[in-house]
Structure 1
Amino acid sequence: MKISAKMRKIMMGSLGLLLMIWIVNIIVQNLNPEVAKPTLIEYTTSAQSGTYAAFLQAHAQTYDNDQSYSYPASSFILEPGEAISVGGFYDWTTESFLDLSLSGVTPGLYQIVMNYQAKSDNYLPIVLSMTIDGALPYQEAAQASLDTYWVEADDEVRQDRYGNDVSVLKATYDAYVIQPLKDPNRLYTEGLLVYLDETVDVITLEKISGALQLKSIELVPHQSLIPYSDYLPQGSFVQTPNYRFEAEDMFLMNHSSITRGISKDIGVLPFSISKLKLNVLGTENYQEPGDAVTWIADIETAGYYELTFKVRQDRQKTTTYRTLYINGEIPFEEAKHLPFGFSRNWQNVTLSSLEGEPYLFYLEPGDTITLEVDSRLFIDIARKMRMISDEMTQFGLEVTKLTRNNVDKSIDWDMIAYFPDIYTRLESWTVGLTEVIEALDQLYGYQGDSKTVSDLKAAKSKIQTLINDIDEIPRRLTLLSTGSSSAVTLISGQIDVVLQQPLVMDAFFVHGDPKLPRPNARFFESIAIGVQRFFASFINPSYSEGVADDEIEVWVNRSRQYVDLIQRITDGVFTEETGIKVKVSIMNDDGKLLLANSADQQPDVALGVSAWIPNDYGMRGMLVDLSSMPGFEQTLQVFNPEQVVPMIYNNQLFGLPETENFYVLVYRKDILDQLELDVPNTWDDVLEMLPILERYGMSFYVPLSNNSSLKSFDTTAPFIFQFGGQLYAEDGLSAAIDNENTIQAMTFMADLYREYSLSYQVPSFFNSFRYGKIPVGIADFGMYLQLLNAASEIKGLWDIALVPGVEREGEIHRDMPGAQQASILFKKSQKQDDAWAFMQWWHSTETQVLFSNTLINTLGTRYLWNTANIEAFEQLNWNKAHQDIILEQWTHLREVPKIPGSYMVERELSNTLNSVVFYDANLRSTMTDSILKMNKEISRKMLEFGYINSRGESIKPFIIPNRSIVEGWVNDHE
């Protein structure tokens, strides 16, 4: 291929710039880094009464004993109707309880160790409630957990058609394990302890969730670990062989979210210049408290070895920790807290004492080595931070109650008169933060500050500012507890960070010879590989390879992780069953479909397209009418008929719903309790609570307040439907927003802002909810997912409920939309039958459940799949209470039907509302003007599509899409 002079110039310029960046980066990386010198202190703080931490503090002086007690399944006292299986185990699948009858137990602290096999194939842990003589020993016992262990289901990593590695599927470990009951957050990796003596009669375990086969329970006494000096016998012989094991080749993991990652660094094996290789562990996971990975030491000779891990820990100026187990046991005390310091480069870290003396470990062929995320040293630090954050939030609310959110500068506040202990409070927070900062500095072991320490120092500085002028606190709450840069935000934003212990691993060495391969490539090796990668990027086959004649092409509007998994389960299930080959490709923007269709480059099927596309493209003749395809009625049975309404035009079906964007009410339990407010059930309840919220500088959120000037149907239509209003005339040829119920709904929407002072535009409901500014409101699936995964500071402080509604004729109408993404079949496809077979398979209950579980088990809990298939959604492993509320809210699903010109109705409704709220326009006269514009555009489009003539006379009837059409299709089949 001949390269033009211009192209050659561009390539050489780009290469020069790339070389410069590499050189600067390598120079920076090779500057003499500061070496961590951590001190293993155990910071302690007072614990809340009734917690496990308080229990441990109360029993700090309880002495060890060496008496254990074993209870085989045959000794369990079960509920009536429950029995021990023939294999000598209790098949614990129901939400029942069992009792252990105790007598004559030697007083002491005991672990509750279970010999069990998990039978749940989902990411949720097994949860048990434990009581002793009918009482909880501490709060955490109400949700004690057991890990589900996972293995990689494939013998080897597979590649896609371009040679890139694809995510490895997981399966539950089909064998018994012996593990103690743990706290629900897995902070205490040694397991929960209980205090037992001669007076204890019975321990009761009640299963809350999950399924397991339980073979036995053992009460194991708490024992102190031996020091390393006692572990290593005198004259121990060090074996000389060196063995390298890839960290990503895991034997066991105790959480489904622990997955392989990708590194393109030289020296990381397996290595490729141009392909993506799953060659490391821990790029986005393996950092939460209690996460553990186990490998098998495939060595040939028993003996004492050093252990060295090739790692990269790039959280600046921090040290992270791991606990080492051999065959499930911590070999000695010093193995509990093994430090890994910060480095921008890969480093070989030999497990050693703080003085640098390498530890020796006795290993035999086939032994297991486990590294567990160790957050134990940071538990009390995080607790202290949360305690300070909660106290500040509470104080901020108390100040708001006092001032009623009046921050007029002319008011002089005498804060000591209202809060006599105000100096004590503020100074206790600065003292507490000072203690936390000093503890972190010792555990991290760096002279420079980490991001966590910097934020804590900034928070301390803000508190000091308030101390210097306490009477200004009412006007400076943004320094303390409100806003994105307040002290509360700075502190609470680092609580999870403190507990997380990130570490990326490439390999580990079991060795006697201290000479190990260099962890990083040499300078000129990096340059050479970089040049090769630069030129290889111009011939990437993923941009040039076409579709084979015997394949159907499917475009997916999602990220690569989703596409890889869809391709994988399609090849492994659909193609295996039908023989139909499928090529799945990434589509970055579903707007490209129109251009692709015009150029005859369209796929056969597209997934993940916006829910408006089927109707819009269908009315223009681009898509196949799915109601003409065989078996379509059966396919529709798994959906709520309303889900299909947006995809109907002219009694034809042009798409299938794929995902559903549910809406629910979210609320802060802590704040509503403090304000003595109930969760609202109707909009009248909301109106009653708004003055109280406003009094304390708070508000309620409705999707109308999104940060956009265009108020879409998703935000306006729910009120119209709830009030019993209409959007279109019965014949669909004109708008009907002059309906009295519609006017009532529009008046209510406007009054929320004119009379009740809701914020008309909220940049981020998520942040306002976290910071307590808007403690209650209507959220969609996206925010629900954020609250689950990115709001640790309010974990356990929020919940969901049904959306408030309007009571009419004895029924509360909670109508809300939900259409999110759909799938479509192109009319130009030459393989419509095969493509339709794929669509039917993809939307089936079995496939949606398989994909959802595979997605979570492969990529983690951040990838919850909100399938539109109701049957499949009922089988997903979500929070059961939340799942029930979402399913009930779905019974109130109401979608806006699309007609030619409906976009003008949407736009003018928005304009009307904006005019009334911002310019105090008269609602009725504004709507009268708007309806003229709506009808003019609807008539123009109806003329274009042949429903009326130029005189506005009806030529053929237009049927507004509705659920009755869908129900008719399904009922006809039945």
Structure 2
Amino acid sequence: MKLNIKMRKAMTLTLAGLVLIFGVNLLIHVFNRETPNPTFIEYETSAQSGSYAAFLKSHAQTYANDENHTIPAPSFVLEAGETISVGGFYDWVNPTQVQIELNGLNTGLYQVFLTYQAKSDNYLPIVLALTVDGTSPYTEASQASLDTYWIEADDTVRQDRYGNDVAVMKATYDQTVRKPLKDPNRQYAEGLLVYLTPTSNTLELNKVSGDLKLYSIELVSLDTPESYETYKQGATLSSIETKRIEAEEVFLMNHSSITRGISKDIGVLPFSISKLKLNVLGTENYQEPGDAVTWIVDVESPGYYQLSFKVKQNRQKTTSYRTLYINGELPFEEAKHLPFTFSRSWENVTLKDSEGNPYLFYLSPGDEITLMVDSTLFIEVARKMRQISDEMTQFGLEVTKLTRNNVDKNIDWDMEAYFPDVKVKLENWRDGLTEVITVLDTLYGFKGDSKTVSDLKAGRSKINTLLNDVDEIPRRSTLLSTGSSSAVTLISGQIDVVLQQPLVLDAFFVHGKTSLPRPNAGFFESLSIGIQRFFASFINPSYSEGVEDDEIEVWVNRSRQYVDLIQRITDGVFTEQTGIKVKVSIMNDDGKLLLANSANKQPDVALGVSAWIPNDYGMRGMLVDLSTMPGFEDTLKVYNPEQVVPMIYDNQLFGLPETENFYVLVYRKDILDQLELNVPNTWEDVLDMLPVLERYGMSFYVPLSNNSALKSFDTTAPFIFQYGGKLYADDGLTAAIDNENTIQAMTFMADLYREYSLSYQVPSFFNSFRYGKIPVGIADFGMYLQLLNAASEIKGLWDIALVPGVDRDGRIHRDMPGAQQASILFKKSEKQDDAWTFMQWWHSTETQVLFSDTLINTLGTRYLWNTANIEAFEQLNWNKAHQSIILEQWTHLREVPKIPGSYMVERELSNTLNSVVFYDANLRSTLTDSILKMNKEINRKMLEFGYVDTKGVPIKPFVIPTRDIVLRWVNDHE
């Protein structure tokens, strides 16, 4: 009875809470609604010499002409051995050149259109280098791009076992398209222009990446679209009923990352109280410059119609812009910049002019409507922000060179004596930021500040603080250019944000004067649905953590997209083949595994766990020794033996590597060529190139310079191994960092900063690399993925190579780690045999290739799968040149073996290095003190696990994990 009373009270309080929440949200929406007034503004700033922006400025007075020229494939001038295929196209798969001859063209600007078809067996972006008479007209021409178009491969949206929608697979559009050659950032919607004269002889295109069938090249005069006033002459609005088109049901998209999203809001169709529906477009994508989606609109008859979009623009106090095309053409000039302002709820936005008059669009049955992300109004703003950020970074580097990081309060610096224009620089940056803020406020149209404007104002405030006393700049570097809250970080962090234009779409309407359906639910409807969802949460199986008796439970430490795909291919392949049912669930934090095991709530298998977990949990008896499972040796054959080392403890195997974090050298080809520097092969080569880099305010990056005080084994151990050093004694019971080779490696690491002036901390190597401040350095897989997908402005200008090494014993030692994520099998599992069968299937070459392809086809090329299975990795559709380098670097893989107490060795190595670099401590004496702390902790842990007694005397031998153990396992069973 008491329990029922408590339950009733709890439910009453919950319902009261729901009513309160809905009421507060309603009041916020009603009283906090600001009417925005976005206004277009022309803003120009200086453009870097040789850039496309500078090219456009220099030809601002060049008038268009009426000439159009089409050169079919049979008229191409091809390299020796290349031919035109039957069907009249050039099958462009080799990195060759296509040339067209120009004969007495009129002087003017021309668009370059290509009629082509992207090849479906290659996911790489199509990148071409454009030259006229052998000369590149501007920097962006060396990395011009063509859109690859995608369609949804599935006719219907599939559901998982709980009735939730799962991501839809995509396929490349298997038809020819006619599109302009674009800049790498896709910021200029009309495509790249070239300036041609009667003396221009040839135009050449060199393939950088991607495969395509090329049918023709066109040189087209740039037309100025007519105004809306001209377009609407004689237009009469159609009187048809409102036609609703679901935004997520697109016909074409020009980037594989554009995917359907989920909204649980009432009124968003399709709708479900308890299920997840892929019912919107643009929740996590469709915001980058040039992103475009196309719908087919089947109106019943030709005529003029209004267009309204049901949207939600989630970025506070901002306005996003889109450009609308009909059948690939801009209907009128005003369709270039269509504003969608921030709103806390869904809105029906009818496309209209600044006076509030709806636009009329002429549509025929089967017409295509394209909505493209429009960032053109923000190009100059972003360029100004980048210019200010670069100048401030360079000045900060010059100050550091002068002061050598000496921030002693007793030193009086006269900054104007060293930098006479320091105040002018600061004032220019402050005034430049003021201009940018004004432009953004005008384009956004809100009285309150957006996050971007707030950060820029904060950056400006820091500059004003420095202006008040310029002699304090050496002691206030964190205000200027170093640290996570510096002016440089605040400004550079918003450059990409300014260009992004987020917008979530539910549907759009083709209509006459009829009224549109209400975009949001009413108060009582929202309250009713909220209550129903509350009760549904108690009975919905997708909220349940339990599994059926005939299922194995797999927890995955990844996002929902990954989990949905794993469940899909598991049900469709593994369960079909074996009859074993599997429930795959999300695990937001692999740290919860320890608690789950203690509470006997652990899964059978966990995927995506951190690479240290198998060893750490295995030594505590939580995991199954996989070396006792049937066929484990065959599973190990697909790995480099070194990959398995972190999973071993006491000659037992407690996990399998799932993904691999590779390290490679990344370098800017354009900058190294300009400085006449070769790609370094050894650390001696790196030291030789540092003076040249320093002379131009540049540097080299090593992972030791990441923005963290703790230098992990991943950053220190590679040097130690390359120099032939040791971490542990042969018996594994003590540390051995006093080894002479280890000391030599530590000395070299310290000298990189003390003698060669590498930056102590680099907040973002990615940004420093893309902006040319650090044009060469060692990057991991995450950085590599960023460069592929988030640095389009340097597409084609960078490459990778093997990590520099130490020339020793007649060969170059390039030892680097790579362990990233693993899978484990719990000892408490009552279905160990079925769980092991699943693990073998999941780690097999066929499954890893299938999952990688499914991932890309569903979520886009940004989701590359860095499988640890070497056989599978060789079959992945990556850049083949990069793939071969990564595979060769994997042959130099060297992992740090884990022993009880190894964390103290890692920590004290870091502390020693920091003491030597920052406080000029003596290396040998510091190491002597550190090794005492290491050995004390190792001895304590060895005592805990029964390897030594209370006096430190060995009781049983400890075997350090090595690759030889793995090789013995495999070879003994062959």
TM-score by length of structure 1 reads 0.88
Q: Is the 8 A contact 1:618 1:654 kept in 2?
A: yes
Q: Is the 8 A contact 2:900 2:941 kept in 1?
A: no
1:346 aligns with 2:350: no
Query: For residues 724 and 83 of structure 1, do their structure 2 counterparts lie closer, same or farther at Cα, with a shift above 3 Å needed?
Result: same
1:152 aligns with 2:149: no
Distance 2:655 2:325 in 1: 53
Query: For residues 745 and 7 of structure 1, do their structure 2 counterparts lie closer, same or farther at Cα, with a shift above 3 Å needed?
Result: farther
Aligned to 1:372: 372
Query: For residues 679 and 154 of structure 1, do their structure 2 counterparts lie closer, same or farther at Cα, with a shift above 3 Å needed?
Result: same
Q: Is the 8 A contact 2:321 2:338 kept in 1?
A: yes
Query: For residues 551 and 74 of structure 1, do their structure 2 counterparts lie closer, same or farther at Cα, with a shift above 3 Å needed?
Result: farther
Aligned to 2:72: 72
1:434 aligns with 2:434: yes
Aligned to 1:570: 570
Per-residue deviation, 1:376 = 1.2
Query: For residues 753 and 388 of structure 1, do their structure 2 counterparts lie closer, same or farther at Cα, with a shift above 3 Å needed?
Result: closer
Instruction: State the SS of the aligned residue for 1:521.
Output: coil
Moved more, 430-439 or 500-509: 430-439
Q: Is the 8 A contact 1:64 1:222 kept in 2?
A: yes
Distance 2:894 2:876 in 1: 23
Q: Is the 8 A contact 1:723 1:741 kept in 2?
A: no
Aligned to 1:524: 524
Query: For residues 70 and 509 of structure 1, do their structure 2 counterparts lie closer, same or farther at Cα, with a shift above 3 Å needed?
Result: same
Query: For residues 510 and 687 of structure 1, do their structure 2 counterparts lie closer, same or farther at Cα, with a shift above 3 Å needed?
Result: same
Distance 2:664 2:781 in 1: 8
Distance 1:705 1:139 in 2: 30
Q: Is the 8 A contact 2:724 2:741 kept in 1?
A: yes
Gaps of 5+ in 2: 916-920
1:119 aligns with 2:119: yes
Distance 1:88 1:539 in 2: 61
Pairing of 1:9-48 with structure 2 (within 5 A) = 9-31=9-31, 33-48=33-48
Matched AA of 1:838: F
Moved more, 957-966 or 289-298: 957-966
Pairing of 1:663-674 with structure 2 (within 5 A) = 663-664=663-664
Distance 1:391 1:148 in 2: 36
Distance 1:692 1:211 in 2: 38
Aligned to 1:844: 844
Per-residue deviation, 1:179 = 0.7
Query: For residues 758 and 304 of structure 1, do their structure 2 counterparts lie closer, same or farther at Cα, with a shift above 3 Å needed?
Result: same
Instruction: State the SS of the aligned residue for 2:721.
Output: helix
Matched AA of 1:744: I
Per-residue deviation, 1:658 = 0.3
Instruction: State the SS of the aligned residue for 2:901.
Output: helix
Query: For residues 113 and 538 of structure 1, do their structure 2 counterparts lie closer, same or farther at Cα, with a shift above 3 Å needed?
Result: same
Per-residue deviation, 1:295 = 0.7
Matched AA of 1:839: M
Aligned to 1:661: 661
Aligned to 2:326: 326
Query: For residues 50 and 938 of structure 1, do their structure 2 counterparts lie closer, same or farther at Cα, with a shift above 3 Å needed?
Result: same
User: In the TM superposition, what whole-angstrom CA distance separates every residue of 1:30-71 from its partner, at most 9, and x where no partner exists?
Assistant: 126332323323322332222211222222222222321112
Matched AA of 2:736: I
Moved more, 95-104 or 278-287: 95-104
Q: Is the 8 A contact 2:340 2:349 kept in 1?
A: yes
Query: For residues 456 and 138 of structure 1, do their structure 2 counterparts lie closer, same or farther at Cα, with a shift above 3 Å needed?
Result: same
Distance 1:395 1:754 in 2: 19
1:903 aligns with 2:907: no
Matched AA of 1:855: L
Aligned to 1:300: 300
Q: Is the 8 A contact 1:123 1:857 kept in 2?
A: no
Instruction: State the SS of the aligned residue for 2:340.
Output: strand
Query: For residues 220 and 846 of structure 1, do their structure 2 counterparts lie closer, same or farther at Cα, with a shift above 3 Å needed?
Result: farther
1:941 aligns with 2:963: no
Aligned to 1:252: 252
Matched AA of 1:357: N
Distance 2:444 2:11 in 1: 44
Matched AA of 1:215: Y
Aligned to 1:163: 163
Distance 1:423 1:588 in 2: 50
Aligned to 1:180: 180
Aligned to 1:269: 269
Aligned to 2:646: 646
Identity, in percent, stands at 70
Moved more, 23-32 or 38-47: 38-47
Matched AA of 2:637: Q
Per-residue deviation, 1:663 = 3.8
Instruction: State the SS of the aligned residue for 1:195.
Output: strand
Moved more, 65-74 or 845-854: 845-854
Per-residue deviation, 1:144 = 0.8
Moved more, 811-820 or 630-639: 630-639
Distance 1:218 1:146 in 2: 14
Aligned to 2:918: none
Q: Is the 8 A contact 2:537 2:543 kept in 1?
A: no
Q: Is the 8 A contact 2:705 2:761 kept in 1?
A: no
Query: For residues 792 and 466 of structure 1, do their structure 2 counterparts lie closer, same or farther at Cα, with a shift above 3 Å needed?
Result: farther
Distance 2:692 2:469 in 1: 29
Moved more, 293-302 or 549-558: 549-558
Matched AA of 2:307: L
Distance 1:192 1:679 in 2: 32
Matched AA of 2:743: Q
Distance 1:953 1:104 in 2: 91
Q: Is the 8 A contact 2:286 2:292 kept in 1?
A: yes
User: In the TM superposition, what whole-angstrom CA distance separates every residue of 1:191-247 from its partner, at most 9, and x where no partner exists?
Assistant: 111122322222111111011111222222111111112222415352322100111
Query: For residues 51 and 652 of structure 1, do their structure 2 counterparts lie closer, same or farther at Cα, with a shift above 3 Å needed?
Result: same
Distance 2:514 2:572 in 1: 45
Distance 1:769 1:133 in 2: 34
Distance 1:952 1:403 in 2: 52
Q: Is the 8 A contact 1:128 1:145 kept in 2?
A: yes
Query: For residues 339 and 743 of structure 1, do their structure 2 counterparts lie closer, same or farther at Cα, with a shift above 3 Å needed?
Result: closer
Q: Is the 8 A contact 2:699 2:758 kept in 1?
A: no
Distance 2:343 2:667 in 1: 42
Q: Is the 8 A contact 1:405 1:697 kept in 2?
A: no
Per-residue deviation, 1:753 = 11
User: In the TM superposition, what whole-angstrom CA distance separates every residue of 1:449-504 from its partner, at most 9, and x where no partner exists?
Assistant: 33333333343444444445445444444443333333333322222122111111
Instruction: State the SS of the aligned residue for 2:537.
Output: helix
Query: For residues 424 and 661 of structure 1, do their structure 2 counterparts lie closer, same or farther at Cα, with a shift above 3 Å needed?
Result: same
Matched AA of 2:249: D
Distance 1:469 1:960 in 2: 58
Distance 1:422 1:952 in 2: 65
1:737 aligns with 2:741: no
Pairing of 1:612-623 with structure 2 (within 5 A) = 612-615=612-615
Distance 1:787 1:648 in 2: 34
Pairing of 1:336-415 with structure 2 (within 5 A) = 336-408=336-408, 413-415=413-415
1:963 aligns with 2:963: yes
Per-residue deviation, 1:517 = 0.6
TM-score by length of structure 2 reads 0.88
Aligned to 1:288: 288
Matched AA of 1:64: A
Per-residue deviation, 1:937 = 4.7
User: In the TM superposition, what whole-angstrom CA distance separates every residue of 1:553-572 from its partner, at most 9, and x where no partner exists?
Assistant: 32222222211111112233
Matched AA of 1:493: G
Pairing of 1:800-879 with structure 2 (within 5 A) = 802-803=802-803, 805-826=805-826, 834-860=834-860, 863-876=863-876
Matched AA of 2:530: G
Moved more, 339-348 or 745-754: 745-754
Query: For residues 406 and 288 of structure 1, do their structure 2 counterparts lie closer, same or farther at Cα, with a shift above 3 Å needed?
Result: same
User: In the TM superposition, what whole-angstrom CA distance separates every residue of 1:899-926 from its partner, at most 9, and x where no partner exists?
Assistant: xxx2225435645874897697564476
Query: For residues 18 and 778 of structure 1, do their structure 2 counterparts lie closer, same or farther at Cα, with a shift above 3 Å needed?
Result: farther
Distance 2:846 2:70 in 1: 42
Moved more, 681-690 or 206-215: 681-690
Moved more, 462-471 or 773-782: 773-782
1:243 aligns with 2:243: yes
Aligned to 1:480: 480
Distance 2:796 2:96 in 1: 25
User: In the TM superposition, what whole-angstrom CA distance separates every residue of 1:73-96 from its partner, at most 9, and x where no partner exists?
Assistant: 222222222222222222111111
Per-residue deviation, 1:790 = 7.6
Per-residue deviation, 1:293 = 0.6
Query: For residues 631 and 266 of structure 1, do their structure 2 counterparts lie closer, same or farther at Cα, with a shift above 3 Å needed?
Result: same
